[in-house]
Amino acid sequence: MPTMGALHQGHLDLVKKCVAQADCTVVSIFVNPTQFNNQEDFKKYPSSVKEDLDLLESAGVDYVFLPEVDTMYPSSPVLKLNFGHLETILEGAFRPGHFNGVGVIVSKLFHIIRPDFAFFGQKDLQQVAIIQTLVRDLSFPIEIIVVPTRREEDGLAMSSRNRRLSDLERKTALIIFNSLSVAAKELKEGKEWLVVQEQIIRQFQEQESVKLEYFELVEREAFEIKKQFDPHQKMAICAAAYVGEIRLIDNLIINS
Ligand code: PAF
The domain 2-147 having CATH identifier 2.40.420.20: the answer here is no
Whether 4 is in the pocket of ligand 1, judged by its Cβ within 6 Å, is yes
pLDDT band of 216, cuts 50, 70, 90: very high
Q: Is the pLDDT of residue 255 over 90?
A: no
256 has a pLDDT exceeding 70: no
- pLDDT band of residue 141 (cuts 50, 70, 90) is very high
- 5: Cβ below 6 Å to ligand 1? no
In sequence order, which residues have a C-beta less than 8 Å from that of residue 137 and are 6 or more positions away?
Answer: none
111 noted as active-site residue: no
Round the average pLDDT of the chain to a whole number and report it: 97
Fold for the domain defined by 160-255: Pantoate--beta-alanine Ligase; Chain: A,domain 2 (3.30.1300)
Please report the pLDDT score of residue 163 as a whole number: 96
**Which residue out of 15, 102, 158 has the highest number of ligand 1 atoms within 8 Å of its CB and is therefore the one to mutate?**
102
Q: Is 101 marked within a binding site?
A: no
List, by residue range, all CATH 3.30.1300.10 domains of the chain.
160-255
Instruction: Please tell me the distance between residue 102's alpha carbon and the centre of ligand 1 in angstroms.
Output: 6
Confidence of residue 135 (pLDDT cuts 50, 70, 90): very high
CB 83 within 8 A of CB 99: yes
Percent of the chain exceeding pLDDT 70 equals 100
In the chain, CATH 3.40.50.620 sits at 2-147
Q: For the purposes of burial, counting CB atoms within 10 Å of the CB of 82, is it exposed (0-12), middle (13-18) or buried (19 or more)?
A: exposed
Q: Which whole number is the average pLDDT over 219-247?
A: 97
Residue 127 has pLDDT above 80, yes or no: yes
Nearest CA residue ID for atom 5, ligand 1:
102
Q: Is the pLDDT of residue 236 over 80?
A: yes
Model-level pTM?
0.97
Question: Which of 89, 84, 92, 88 minimizes the C-alpha distance to 35?
Answer: 92
- Centre of ligand 1 to C-alpha 63, Å, is 18
Query: pLDDT tens for residues 143-154?
Result: 999 999 999 999
Q: What are the tens digits of pLDDT across the range 20-70?
A: 999 999 999 999 999 999 999 999 999 999 999 999 999 999 999 999 999
Q: Please tell me the least confidently modeled range out of 3-7, 37-41, 113-117.
A: 37-41
Q: What is the pLDDT of residues 173-196, one digit of tens each?
A: 999 999 999 999 999 999 999 999
